[in-house]
Structure 1
Amino acid sequence: MGLASSRTQIFATCTATLAFFTCGTFMGWPSPTIARLQSEETEFYITSDEGSWIVSCMPIASILTPIPAGYLVNKVGRKTALLSASLPFLLSWLLVALAQSVWMLYAARLFAGLGLGITFTVGPMYLGEIAEDRIRGALGTVYQLMMNLGVLFEYCVGPYVSSMWLSITSALFPVLFLLTFIWMPESPYYYILKGRRTDAERSLMRLRCVNDPEFIKEELDYIEKFVEQSRTEQGSFKDLLCDSANRKALIIVVGLILFQNLSGINAILAYSTTIFEESNTDLRPQVSVMITGAVQVVLSMVSSTIVDTAGRRPMLLVSGIGTVIALVVEGVFFYLKTESQVDLSHLDWLPVSAIVFYLIAYTLGLGPLPLAMLGELFPTSVKGLAASITCMILGLVTIAVVKFYQVIGDTFGMHFVFFSFAAFCVIGTLFVTLAVPETKGKSLLEINQYLQPKKKTALNIIKS
């Protein structure tokens, strides 16, 4: 099967990940906007503490929707649950456009967080279930590319238009998501879970671009056996925590999510303009963040291209080592500049270069793979619950990072922040080395068998 047989999968992935593009716009929005609201050219002035709360409101709200979203995916389907994220996204941009006070921005960011929680819970599940094994890694990491494109959009447009016009143009993307994704097929795994084999057959034929049911019969039987195996579980916390394979999968995914976010990515994206202002480089801060955003987009394309060839573990290890190097360099620069009062004017290119290198390393593995692996490691019955728990942890860690970044930076210095992020990356790299399995080219059944090797799974039944 070639590219022609994958076109519906690719189009479904692109339309579904417009939700992640929208998340990227919300992640990138604070960088140009907070810098403006703390300057003289502002619509209304905000303090440094208010700025940190504007950034923090989104992850705070994001912990409220994963549990309801995890429940909805098995009740109304992956597609409908993901489409529901468009409503809070649109409400958020409406509030930003009308904002006359910091409290309206708080409310806007809370709505954005509700949509983000839904997207990060449901999106990876949908992407993992519609893709063939041979391209599941590539399609499962497209969300990172789309998210980076959303961030870059805010970096490029934000400095040159008013807050109202930035919000109006940004609101076009959740509308585009709603108008395009609504026509995409539902996950065949969901239909099998609901006992709707005929609908699952139609969905799978559409995804594989074939008209003859015989062409997808073996894969459909494979899905049915996999879902049937998971029917013995009720999708409860007990099933998730007491089953050894599910428990191991949860530890792996939560560990990767912690590794990803304690590397400091959300703080660096939100405060990138401020970081470059403090480093006093020759480049304008707005230009520097555009460069970093463009680098992320290019590397996201590279990551999606090579993930099914290079494998998950090697990319995560390279990513971890690269982020450690970049963060240590950034920390040393700020330490010498602020604590030792060393003249570093001849090295004013270094902070931007280190952040660019950090983003290169992050985007190769840490960025796309944790959520992509969430869609691979869990059986259908507990996948929604696992995604809910993981996304709630993601929200809590993001709150801590973006809120305390400013506090710790003001109290102990920027160098302390970057050294702390580097230390977490060292721990995360060791975790990948010791605990994360390789899932390249494996079916969801084979992955489940690997995590629970002594248990007779549906894969054994099929092969016997």
Structure 2
Amino acid sequence: MEPTRSTGSALLQYLAAASGNLAIVSDGMHYGWPSPTLPQILNNTNSTLCIDNDEGAWMAVMPLLGAVIGALTAANIVDYFGRKKTIIATAVPFFITWIMIAFAKSVVVLHIARLLAGVADGVTFTVVPIYIGEISDARVRGMLGSSCSVMWIVGFLLINIIGSYMSISDTAMVSSVVPILAFLTFMWMPESPYYLLMRDRVKEAKESLRKFRRVDDVDDEIDRMLTSIQTETKSKGRLLDLFLVKSNRKAVIIVAGLRGFQQFSGTTAITFYAQSIFKEAGDDISPHHASMIYFSVQLLMTMVSSCIVDRAGRKPLLMISMAGSAFMLFLEGTYFYVRSQTPIDTSSFGFVPVVVLIGFVIIFSLGMQSIPILMLGELFPTGVKAYALCFADVYYSLVATVASKFLQVMKDNYGTYFAFYGFTIFSVIGLLFIIFFVPETKGKNLEEIQEYLRGHSHDHSKCDKEECVKV
């Protein structure tokens, strides 16, 4: 285990993560944009921005398609231009897309803007987790790594608040301020010491690490990083290494499983259609207010998860989160089944779906919302990390698209209850996957995690940090 330092400070690590995560906030705002916007333009024959349900579904998932392009692009530029420059560059397309939306006179422009936002998303979610994982001390890496999910939910909440009270154009103009702030703040942050070592800029890497750790003597950590990089980059340059190298393949299976079951629990699909679902549920509470409560609770619980993940561990939180989510999704499906398929009068229980969905987001956000993204920055070695996060983002985009279309198709053709029952089944399978396949990475530095994946060390998930002895 990495020894606990008696000196130093993680302040700059927190500041760099906060600044880099402004790109994640802007990304979350783009993803959450359909929730307050689709109800305004669906079947609105009095406006040039009028779409039907099928077009609305494609507009909602358009960023997921663009993310494939962005992730593939990021994998080829992040090790060339560096983490810092790549993150700064994402502010440009995020800003342009908001301007396009603000002045859009046709649905085609909205589709193009959403696609471009997806490209920026693919770059952002490939590079920001890499950067945060590489600058973070093992003591705070769990909290900082999960901050990506926290700030993504901040974006969802902001766009639902702004979009509920402003026009589409005014919402976009206000939202364009976020990428500007991201650009102006992140330009002052140091580059990742891992990247600088990869480029043989040892002196700059030491200076960067001194700033991040707030200590003068970083030689031991630099030597450890150099040894790790030299070992891991021997086979660098092939995407196939993700699948041909046993330790990488194990990491791919873990990430693919976590991200797949995360999406097929319905989380992204629900956020896309939050206000529409609440509108269908009943009139006890307005869809605008219900969605704001939903995303506020999601933000709060994701923050709680970030604060306790380094103490409670990744795996216990994932198991609790997945089991609770399955139960809540089953209750939600049952409400909609009774409401639409039986003669039972549910008018007195209009609050139930809102309460249950809030219960879902509480338990889901405790682990499944943030920890899969956190583990993206933990499980892969430096030599293939860019390819790994590219693959993860492409994979996420595909499964989130399928899950979102699943909700829309099931809702339109069979009933909302059918979609929620489907999400319940996937959540149960996801729980079994977590129990049998996901390791504990709590308290391990990046090099120790790689040793475990190679089978050279024991899994310490069942022992306290003080009692574990590195093998």
> TM-score when scaled to structure 1?
0.95
Contact 2:43-2:52 at 8 Å conserved across structures = no
4+ residue stretches of structure 1 with deviation over 6 A? none
Amino acid aligned to 2:258: L
2: CA distance between counterparts of 1:231 and 1:411? 50
Say which SS state the counterpart of residue 442 (structure 2) adopts: coil
Partner of 1:321 in structure 2?
A: 323
Query: Which of 17, 21, 24 lines up with 2:21 in the alignment?
Result: 17
- Structure 1: gaps of 5 or more residues: 456-462
Amino acid aligned to 1:201: K
Amino acid aligned to 1:258: G
Query: Which of 125, 132, 154 lines up with 1:127 in the alignment?
Result: 132
Contact 1:85-1:114 at 8 Å conserved across structures = no
- Once the two structures are TM-superposed, the CA of residue 4 in structure 1 deviates from its matched residue by 6.7
Query: Which of 112, 117, 137 lines up with 2:117 in the alignment?
Result: 112
Contact 1:258-1:394 at 8 Å conserved across structures = yes
1: CA distance between counterparts of 2:299 and 2:259? 21
1: CA distance between counterparts of 2:404 and 2:17? 29
Contact 2:406-2:419 at 8 Å conserved across structures = no
2: CA distance between counterparts of 1:131 and 1:281? 46
Partner of 1:458 in structure 2?
A: none
1:143 equivalenced with 2:155 (yes/no): no
2: CA distance between counterparts of 1:99 and 1:3? 54
Distance 1:220 1:164, change over 3 A: same
2: CA distance between counterparts of 1:387 and 1:137? 17
Greater helix content: 1
1: CA distance between counterparts of 2:312 and 2:41? 44
The number of equivalent residue pairs is 454
In terms of mean alpha carbon deviation, does 9-18 or 150-159 score higher?
Answer: 150-159
- Once the two structures are TM-superposed, the CA of residue 371 in structure 1 deviates from its matched residue by 1.6
Query: Which of 165, 170, 173 lines up with 1:165 in the alignment?
Result: 170
- Structure 2: gaps of 5 or more residues: 458-469
1:60 equivalenced with 2:65 (yes/no): yes
Query: Which of 296, 299, 303 lines up with 1:297 in the alignment?
Result: 299
Q: How does 1:116-265 map to 2 (within 5 A)?
A: 116-210=121-215, 212=216, 214=217, 216-265=218-267
2: CA distance between counterparts of 1:111 and 1:375? 25
Partner of 1:44 in structure 2?
A: 49
Amino acid aligned to 1:23: D
Amino acid aligned to 1:13: A
Contact 2:148-2:373 at 8 Å conserved across structures = no
Query: Which of 22, 25, 34 lines up with 2:38 in the alignment?
Result: 34
2: CA distance between counterparts of 1:403 and 1:93? 25
Instruction: Note the aligned Cα RMSD (angstroms).
Output: 1.6
Contact 1:83-1:178 at 8 Å conserved across structures = yes
1: CA distance between counterparts of 2:122 and 2:141? 23
Contact 1:50-1:102 at 8 Å conserved across structures = no
Contact 1:121-1:391 at 8 Å conserved across structures = yes
Contact 1:317-1:432 at 8 Å conserved across structures = yes
Say which SS state the counterpart of residue 95 (structure 1) adopts: helix
2: CA distance between counterparts of 1:237 and 1:39? 44
Partner of 1:88 in structure 2?
A: 93
- Once the two structures are TM-superposed, the CA of residue 301 in structure 1 deviates from its matched residue by 1.4
Say which SS state the counterpart of residue 443 (structure 2) adopts: coil
2: CA distance between counterparts of 1:261 and 1:387? 17
Deviations 1:8-35 (A, max 9, x none): 0000000001111111101211111001
2: CA distance between counterparts of 1:32 and 1:42? 16
1: CA distance between counterparts of 2:366 and 2:84? 28
Query: Which of 99, 103, 107 lines up with 1:98 in the alignment?
Result: 103
Contact 2:71-2:390 at 8 Å conserved across structures = yes
- Once the two structures are TM-superposed, the CA of residue 42 in structure 1 deviates from its matched residue by 5.3
2: CA distance between counterparts of 1:59 and 1:6? 34
- Once the two structures are TM-superposed, the CA of residue 403 in structure 1 deviates from its matched residue by 2.5
